[in-house]
Structure 1
Amino acid sequence: MPFDAASQPLSPPRWRTLSADEGDSWLSLTLEGRPLIQLRLVPGACLEVHLQSLCPERPYQALWAACYWLLSRDVACQRLAWHLPEGVPQALASGLLLPGEQPGVYLCERALFWQLPQPWLGDTAASVYPQQMQISNGKRHPRRAPKPRGEVYRRFDARLGSWVSLRALEIDQDLERFSRWQNNPRVDAFWQESGSLQQHREYLEKLEADPHTLTLIGCFDDEPFAYFEAYWAKEDRIAPFYSADDYDRGIHMLVGEEAHRGPHKVASWLSALVHYLFLDDPRTQRVVAEPRADNGKMIGYMHDQCFHCDKEFDFPHKRAALMILGRERFFDRCTLV
């Protein structure tokens, strides 16, 4: 989406053409070839950011872009101290900036920045769905929002130099791909869902009708490579095995394309998947998973992303490891770039 000074501020660009001219003590950003913001930087225990010029049509987007650039280029940077002649109301209202102790100084906290839903969620971002408790299959849980369609998450991964995105699965579009992945012996060893196209259509149609599960396709640079199931834990088979909160989310994960395997790719898509689930509903405090207990490689990848193994337990069909990642831990140790 191109930058347009006349566009609605609630629909910010996806920053495809954001570029920088920078040094140790300065930064200049442009978007669509137009000057966006110019800064003087003073390194220290907390990076001091002094505003030199700002795009008057889009001050919030300019501040956001600068915070993004500075936090992304240094994963160890936890805080920015902005020196501004006056506050930007939208930046303060959203949590992008916090008032500092000194007049004219505003703080950007890394743990807060990555919790802002835009632009990661794009047009799917919405207000929090209202809560009403209901009972289904003997389980009391909140009524769930209607499932989204289309793309739900997009972020540029600076480490890979690629866009990582998530979109809702479309059965007619994705059935053959899903079936090919499930019939891969490597995948079948863990999922045990090999079968015919018709069997896989029935499997996906059942999930499509299930309000507690969202099926997703993961993409790198818009090339599908993985299938994910995101489920509400309170209504899931996992609920009896731990104290599930009303908005806990769980994940099942399948990488189907061999070219996109490996720890560097897992670090990208797993962090993106968890990031999406925490942004999708701010009431979600934990993301859980239950890989097979003998799947040491996947469990190791999850440890790398700050999951911890709470325990092992027995499902009827497997011995599972209960992996948990809390919202506070994810954002406080956030290594997204």
Structure 2
Amino acid sequence: MPDLNDLTALALPTGSRLVAEESENRLSLSLDAQPLITLRLTREPELQVRVEARLDTQALWAACYWLFARDPACQHLAWHLDEAPVEALLSGLLIPNETAGQYRCERALFWQLPQPWLGASMTGSYPQQRVISGGKRHPLRPVKPRGEVYRRFDARLGAWISLRTVDIDLDLARFNRWQNSARVASFWQEEGSLEQHREYLGKLEADPHTVTLIGCFDDQPFAYFEAYWAKEDRIAPFYEAGDYDRGIHMLVGEENHRGPHKVASWLSALTHYLFLDDPRTQRVVAEPRADNAKMIGYMQGQRFHCEKEFDFPHKRAALMVLGRERFFERCGLA
């Protein structure tokens, strides 16, 4: 039997709550205290799932979510269904086996489905048109989002991880405090006054290639992130940037949210958001200082690799790269 965690309930971004009663061979799920689905489980040679009643796509999705969160090492679910689940097949939630009535849910596909984690986003369906800005030819970018863009309950931490766009009036004081801390300043080198930081954030707000984000645990801000389109960024001359590659700058401001377990949560959430935001994004990149061994180690722990070191005018940088296939292969989200 696999090494299962002690999960008994999962909260969804919609506000609903998924609760389970599970034994070795049986799983019953309820949603908001209403029975949702009952399954019979066979765990060898892989997890086989049989349904004891007719199910809809919502119930099927919820069962897949529960089983993947319950066992982060589980990569496949084998479903036995009397009727073809048309909607689930069209979305990619399930794919057919060669044997009639048998279907698979693949972890690598499940975590690429954007809902319910992603906020309202037009990026993924935004049409492509080539434009030139700043001497660089790249796809026209969509209007930047506002408000919350990503939310997921981290089953390992037992906490919500969410991302929202920066509100300068709301976030200026904390951004100023974070940037003026000695730890952050040693890497960002952006110490300054409130007005200087208002100008800094204002320039980025007006820049179509960068989205500024606040990371929250249980809705409490703890970090600042910049997500940018690499093609029109200063990093582009240093590697073969794809049209939809995204890059990230990262700052954890609150001391009580530092540490490997927290990094694993927010870094995986940040990269998950960027891969969901546009399915054409094939890589997420970053360029921490080459001597920032701690951050580089954290990123390698989340499957980034160091492609090379290179020289920006202001620093020696490590080019850290995470490919879409590598992120979703054996995806560690729970």
Which TM-score band (shorter chain)? over 0.9
Identify if the C-alpha distance between structure 1 residues 89 and 299 changes in structure 2 by more than 3 Å, giving closer, same or farther.
same
Output aligned runs, 1:123-272, within 5 Å.
Answer: 123-124=120-121, 127-272=124-269
Partner residue, 1:39: 39
After TM superposition, the structure 1 = structure 2 runs for residues 257-336 of structure 1, keeping only pairs within 5 Å, are 257-336=254-333
Q: Is the 8 A contact 1:249 1:286 kept in 2?
A: yes
Percent identical:
73
TM-score, normalization: structure 1? 0.94
1:20 matched residue in structure 2? 20
For structure 1, the residue ranges without an aligned partner over 5 or more in a row are: 1-11
* C-alpha distance in structure 2 between counterparts of 1:47 and 1:156, whole Å: 24
1:78-117 CA-to-partner distances (Å, cap 9, x unmatched) read 1001111112221111000001111111100010000000
Structure 2 unaligned segments of length 5 or more: list them. Answer: 1-11
Alignment of 1:96-107 (within 5 A): 96-107=93-104
Letter in 1 for 2:46: C
- What secondary structure, in the 3-state scheme, does the structure 2 residue paired with 1:85 have? coil
Tell whether the 8 Å contact from 1:71 to 1:110 is kept in structure 2 after alignment.
Answer: yes
Alpha-carbon displacement from aligned partner over 1:109-155 (angstroms, at most 9, x marks no partner): 01000000001104446751100000001100000011111110011
Query: Hey, what's the Cα distance between the residues in 2 that align with 1:163 and 1:125?
Result: 24
Residue 266 of structure 1 aligns to which amino acid in structure 2? V
Over 2 Å off, 4+ runs? 12-16, 122-127
Q: Provide the C-alpha distance between the structure 2 equivalents of 1:15 and 1:68, rounded to a whole number of angstroms.
A: 16
Report the equivalent of 2:30: 30
Structure 2 CA distance, aligned partners of 1:271 and 1:13? Answer: 17
Quick check: 1:15–1:31 contact (8 Å CA) kept in 2?
no
Report the TM-score when normalising by structure 2: 0.95
Task: For 1:52, give the aligned amino acid.
Answer: E
What's the secondary structure of 2:310's corresponding residue?
strand
Question: Do the aligned partners of 1:147 and 1:214 also contact (CA within 8 Å) in 2?
Answer: yes
Distance 1:309 1:174, change over 3 A: same
* Range 168-177 or range 117-126, more displaced: 117-126
1:246-271, Cα deviation, whole Å (9 max, x unpaired): 00000000000001000000000000
CA distance in 2 between counterparts of 1:214 and 1:13 reads 22
Root-mean-square deviation (CA, aligned residues, Å) is 1.2
Q: Distance in 2 between matches of 1:129 and 1:319?
A: 35
Map Cα deviations across residues 274-328 of structure 1 (whole Å, 9 max, x no partner).
0000000000000000000000000000000000000000000000000000000
Instruction: State the 1:14 CA deviation.
Output: 2.7
CA contact (8 A) 2:124 2:277 kept: no
